[in-house]
Structure 1
Amino acid sequence: MSRGFVKEEDQEEIPMVPPRADLPNGAVNYVTEIGYNNLLEERNALSLEKESLQHDNEKERRIASNLINAKLQLLNERIASAKIVSLNEQPKNEVRFGATVKVVIDNAETPQQFQIVGVDEANIAKGKISFLSPIARILISKHIGDTATLQLGKVERVFEIMEISYT
């Protein structure tokens, strides 16, 4: 039937699904084992949420179900493309994916610590940065004592690597 013959109140809204963290086309979806497990937990939570949907209004239930289905589709694509990187196999004296790096930025008195993780696991409040971030890119392949410079407009930030660990 043509959409022209459907009552306006019967038309369902297409749910707006927030996009997942950006992973450029062609980029490998590297994840830590913890990051991969978080994705699986997220999928389980969405599945449980979908199963427990209860709305008095059938239309509201369908819209909520469609939203969860759309989120699940994006999440399943991320899980299917995930490549788990074993932290035990990373070189202990070099910054690579999964490394926790302690750095001093611009001769600051207090060092900062970052772990280089996958795009879905990144959370700056927890000190986890995406391997695609500018900071991670300048730190990768460096060793203890090395410096890396990040150009931010006219300002240069110098990162000195103090410690590297894989935990």
Structure 2
Amino acid sequence: MTDRPPRFITPQGFARIRAEYEELFSVERPKIVETVSWAASLGDRSENADYLYGKKRLREIDRRLSYLAKVMKTAKVVDPARQEQRDTVRFGATVELADEEDDRRVITLVGEDESDASSGQVSWAAPIARALVGAKVGDERIVRLPSGEKSYEIMKISYPSQA
């Protein structure tokens, strides 16, 4: 058995995955099953576009449902609002960084299944996130990127407030 690191996810990320699963399972899949059933009743299936597309879409939905079920089963939900060490970069932290030219960017360390680099949501397993974990404000970290090494200074660390 391989030791895979935990599949961390925020409560919000887990809720989004559960909602997608419910939507696919309860709404979209039954619609497609109904369409395929109707198309099959028309007879010759070899040239029936509704039937062929429906079967293909059903396979896609089933694959996605299987993946989402696996994610939910193996996920370890970590609420960043409960982080006690708020002066250190950990999972769920929102970090303001400055590079050598003082260009600033803000990123939040989230689970692999909820990352979206375009909105600043970076997987905690990404090179930049791994380099930042454990850092405090004022620390400088060197990140090894495909384009080469880049140095960042941690300007600010924040976590969501507890409800």
Provide the C-alpha distance between the structure 1 equivalents of 2:24 and 2:140, rounded to a whole number of angstroms: 43
**Alpha-carbon displacement from aligned partner over 1:58-90 (angstroms, at most 9, x marks no partner):** 343333223211210111000111101121222
Q: How many residues align?
A: 143
Whose helix proportion is higher, 1 or 2? 2
> For 1:57, which of 19, 28, 39 is the aligned residue?
39
Query: What's the counterpart of residue 75 of structure 1?
Result: 68
Residue identity matched to 1:124 = A
For normalisation by structure 2, the TM-score amounts to 0.80
Does residue 117 of the first structure (1) align with residue 110 of the second (2)?
A: yes
Residue identity matched to 1:30 = F
How far off is 1:155 after superposition?
3.3
Unaligned runs of 5+ in 2: 41-50
Query: What's the counterpart of residue 161 of structure 1?
Result: 154
Give the fraction of aligned pairs with identical amino acids, expressed as a percent: 28
* RMSD of aligned alpha carbons: 1.9
Provide the C-alpha distance between the structure 2 equivalents of 1:153 and 1:82, rounded to a whole number of angstroms: 29
**Alpha-carbon displacement from aligned partner over 1:105-158 (angstroms, at most 9, x marks no partner):** 1232x4100000001110011100001000000000000000100133683211
**Alpha-carbon displacement from aligned partner over 1:26-67 (angstroms, at most 9, x marks no partner):** 121000011101111110121111012224533433332232
Query: What's the counterpart of residue 106 of structure 1?
Result: 100
Provide the C-alpha distance between the structure 1 equivalents of 2:152 and 2:111, rounded to a whole number of angstroms: 21
Residue identity matched to 2:158 = S
Query: What's the counterpart of residue 11 of structure 2?
Result: 33
